[in-house]
Structure 1
């Protein structure tokens, strides 16, 4: 392909992306959106699709500045998709933990808490700085901080692949796999304000520092006393991951310790082994381990989490089996299945993981054309997965949610290995199909993977989870409810409680002494509510009943009235013991007299 066509293709790609962003920007939400995908204009998705198609084609089929431009185009396009809640002017995105994180930003801003008092203040500190320096709302600052922490992922994954293999092909495929955002599984890792997930996206910076540290050669790359400048970079990035979320920093320490162990075993086997010539990883592993211990030892939140894990391991009822069975039954009742959900959420991850595993096996059998250093790096990453998988098993039987967070970290490493593996797979196929044929097959394969992964990047009814879109009216309704609360009366929600909104309104730390639900769970009792016994639907107590557009969408449309019915919700209006106090298009609150 001549330069004119390449230049034109890149220009069209960037113009398509700019057009897509412009169209999305001009279509703000008019109310709660059950699916960010269907609510975003079709023209935006056409522009995104064209930009990604050009980025994929040129990343695979070209080298040099054109490949670099295509990788930049693809990275920007995926970042734009990640940024859709900001581009389309969402008031806020994220329920649950996201609202609690917003509350900590409020604590920082109003001075009821300082950053060093929080176990992981990274996201909140960035958001506070953006809020105060930019003069934008705290909600928007939190969403922008998510984007800031995401960008290193699409930048450093291809850099690591290039540093390991020295080939542009591996860097290109690694870039494409990074666009799939495989660490997000929507079970325990999410695209939004969720610090454990956000920390995953800066892990590649630490891994790049590790590869650079291992690859240093000669005195010119060393500081006095034989210290590498990459040691300081690794410690600095590790501290950053620690501040965003310590669990992922622990995983980084485990990777470094695994690398140090591999080096020790290689040295015992042969002094001439390529791994034996690499700089030792013991010092960085110990330094980051000590840093974590010093930060975590005195923190009460860490002690509670660790105690919960140990308790889960020794209590027979804790685990995933019953929960999976229950959810599988619920999916069947609303016309879905666990197999369907697995295909939507994990099929691409499983395929990439399998390809990476087969590539590692081929590398160990000497069936790849990598040099000794590159083979050593592949061995490092592959063997580091062993203790990481062991931790997954511990979490699986102790605290199942943590297990899927561990899967997110494992897929940071598999993204790198998967990209390198795909480059070698399609390079091998070019010997049978010719290079253009292999490139075409590769483009079709990764395009299909990208479509499937990007359509499950955010929660949506496609995966039986409505988009966690918090509208201004919805938050205003909850804020008004909290402002006008009388006599410490309790709150009960329609499938979702008010306590997280209390964090966002009062501040998470500032509101620790406030009792929202009397320890009763914050949700109405389903059986009593469905029988029309509204007075007895919250353990017989007087309470405020709250329902938002999100609640109605989830319970009545996505869950197809599996737990709550539209009829029971509508009939509350006519109950003599119920008075509507607050009402707008996105939120209602009723005062209910107890039995």
Structure 2
């Protein structure tokens, strides 16, 4: 491509991103948004769409600095999407684990908990530093940490592939694969304040350190005592991963252990000469494995999780099978199906995973035209998928949520391999048609994949889950409800428990005696509630009921009144058993008792 054309196209792309950013920034939400996609102005999506189209074209067609600029444009565009909650000035985002993480951050700042007492203090520590150093509100600091931890993913995936192959086409495809954000599945990994998911985006930095360490000669770029700077980077990045979430650090150790086995066998059987020339990862694997054991066994939370896994493996009826069946039944009642949801959440992942799986198999059979260096790294990461898959099967039987978290890590590895696999696939296709034709087909297919993948990056009614947007009104409403209620009366939620909000407002470790923490389920029972027996819908027979706009949207619109109906809630307002105590438009508090 001519330099003037490339510069002009790139200029349009960067201008589109800037314009999209400014439009989004100038359109903050006025209340609760059921969908961040619908709430974000159309002009923002048009700008980001133009930028992504330019980025895909430049990443595939250009090379050198021009390609790097195109990759940077695409990475910036995807990061802008990830940053939408912060850009559009959400008060907070996330109503489950995110609120608990907010509470832990408050505990850090108030001295109720020290970082070493938490199993994964990385996200909370960074947010605390931003708050203390910059005066940023704690909620916003956490939203910014999500963005900061995402950036290494779009930066290091193409860098890993460049170091593996040196092939410009593979680098371009790797960048596009990273923009798909395949590790997020919205089953157990989420785009938001979710430390297990946030840790996934640091993994490519660890892989880059390993690849660089393996290929660099020991006598070059060495620190004193012959220490490799990339070896230190491998250790440092893994420690950072440990602090963000240890589960993903364990997976890294598993990957390194599989690589060590490949290196050991290859040296004994005179295998790939490139593997024989690589520096081994034996010492790093042992050091990181020992570090994880020392860190985890001293933490009660890890021991409880491990006990829960063993219990799940040993208990009949526990596992993913029953959970999938339950969700499938619920989906059918709201007009959806598991097949539809699979297409939305996993079709792109399945397609990319299929291409990668076929490529790895053909490479092992010697049916692909890759040099020995590239084949070595494909063998490394391909072999690592075997133990990672075995761990997934164990989780699948014992703790289904952990199984889908494992899927998230597996797709980090697949994303790295996808760059090489797609480049070779297009090379094969160009032999059937032409190189421009094969590239055009690949660009169109990947463009369609980008649309579907990014449309499911956040929770939304599109995947039968409303956006977990926490508004100022929700926070003030809950705060008033908690502070002005009687200490003798428990709290219940309308489909969503109140405990998480208590943790987010006041901290997890502080105020342990607050009554909203004593609740078990934390929500009213749908059957007696819908039957008008409001006093019987919660065990104490006398309780406070908190209803938010999020609850109404989820139960009445997204879930299509599967559990709660608008009529049932409307009748509550006129029932003698209930008294409305406060309402600010988004949070309503009722006092309910059996009469």
**TM-score grouping bracket, smaller chain normalisation:** over 0.9
Task: Give 1:87's aligned residue.
Answer: 87
Report the CA distance between 1:247 and its aligned residue. 0.4
Task: Give 1:379's aligned residue.
Answer: 379
- Does residue 352 (structure 1) correspond to residue 352 (structure 2)? The answer is yes
Task: Give 1:410's aligned residue.
Answer: 410
Distance 1:323 1:16, change over 3 A: same
Task: Give 1:334's aligned residue.
Answer: 334
Q: 1: distance between equivalents of 2:93 and 2:520?
A: 27
State TM-score, norm by structure 1: 0.98
State TM-score, norm by structure 2: 0.98
Task: Give 2:24's aligned residue.
Answer: 24
Task: Give 2:35's aligned residue.
Answer: 35
- Does residue 444 (structure 1) correspond to residue 464 (structure 2)? The answer is no
Structure 1 residues 227-264: Cα deviation after superposition (integer angstroms, max 9, x where no partner): 32222111111110000001001101111111111111
Extract structure 1 runs of 4+ deviating beyond 6 A.
none
Task: Give 1:576's aligned residue.
Answer: 576
Task: Give 2:419's aligned residue.
Answer: 419
Structure 1 residues 465-503: Cα deviation after superposition (integer angstroms, max 9, x where no partner): 000000110111111111112123111110001100111
Report the CA distance between 1:224 and its aligned residue. 4.8
CA contact (8 A) 1:492 1:517 kept: no
SS of 1:204 mapped into structure 2: helix
SS of 2:312 mapped into structure 1: helix
Q: Answer with 317-326 or 213-222: which moved more.
A: 213-222
Task: Give 1:535's aligned residue.
Answer: 535
Report the CA distance between 1:593 and its aligned residue. 1.6
SS of 1:221 mapped into structure 2: coil
Task: Give 1:155's aligned residue.
Answer: 155
Q: Answer with 36-45 or 421-430: which moved more.
A: 421-430
Q: 2: distance between equivalents of 1:294 and 1:515?
A: 36
Q: 1: distance between equivalents of 2:515 and 2:402?
A: 27
Counting only pairs closer than 5 Å after superposition, residues 416-565 of structure 1 correspond to structure 2 as 416-516=416-516, 518-565=518-565
Task: Give 2:101's aligned residue.
Answer: 101
Task: Give 1:189's aligned residue.
Answer: 189
Q: 2: distance between equivalents of 1:279 and 1:212?
A: 10
Task: Give 1:259's aligned residue.
Answer: 259
Report the CA distance between 1:510 and its aligned residue. 1.0
CA contact (8 A) 2:218 2:228 kept: no
Q: 1: distance between equivalents of 2:448 and 2:272?
A: 44
CA contact (8 A) 2:573 2:579 kept: yes
SS of 1:545 mapped into structure 2: strand
Distance 1:291 1:124, change over 3 A: same
Distance 1:577 1:169, change over 3 A: same
Q: Which runs of 5+ in 2 are unaligned?
A: none
SS of 1:516 mapped into structure 2: helix
Q: Which runs of 5+ in 1 are unaligned?
A: none
Report the CA distance between 1:209 and its aligned residue. 0.6
Q: 2: distance between equivalents of 1:312 and 1:483?
A: 39
CA contact (8 A) 1:491 1:517 kept: no
Q: 2: distance between equivalents of 1:220 and 1:323?
A: 54
- Does residue 305 (structure 1) correspond to residue 305 (structure 2)? The answer is yes
Q: 2: distance between equivalents of 1:90 and 1:520?
A: 30
Report the CA distance between 1:509 and its aligned residue. 1.3
Q: 1: distance between equivalents of 2:513 and 2:317?
A: 31
Structure 1 residues 432-458: Cα deviation after superposition (integer angstroms, max 9, x where no partner): 222211111111011000000000000
